[in-house]
Amino acid sequence: MLERLDQKRDEKLRVERETREQENRQRQDTMDATVQEILVSANLEIIREQLRERVRELNEQERRMREQEAERQETERQERERQETEQQERDQREREQQERAREDESQSHKRRRYN
């Protein structure tokens, strides 16, 4: 069961990584196109303003990506904690069940001795 969860998590991470890589390529293509447009322009002030705007856009995109990454990591951390808690609870129930079985066996053994 944990292996399936690991596989699902790995697949999810792979898809997210591929998506980020594709987004990065798209951003790079957009930036390259923007630079080309700027280079064609003869007005230096327009070029400067366009570059400043593009830098603001890229900074905003980077900030959003960092936030998304932090959210993803927090979600994964919470999922790991939940799985660990569930496993600990299962282990505890199993120990308690084994202890009850030992006690039942001990009581049964005592009754047989007295009968």
pLDDT at 110: 67
Who contacts 23 (Cβ-Cβ below 8 Å, separation ≥6)?
A: 65
Q: Where are the alpha helices (DSSP H) in 1-115?
A: 2-40, 44-114
List pLDDT tens digits, range 23-78.
999 999 998 998 887 777 667 778 788 899 999 999 999 999 999 999 999 999 99
pLDDT at 92: 97
CA angle, 37 then 55 then 13, to 5°: 105
Domain span at residue 71 reads 2-114
Average pLDDT of every residue of the chain: 88
Structural domain total, the chain? 1
pLDDT at 7: 87
pLDDT at 76: 94
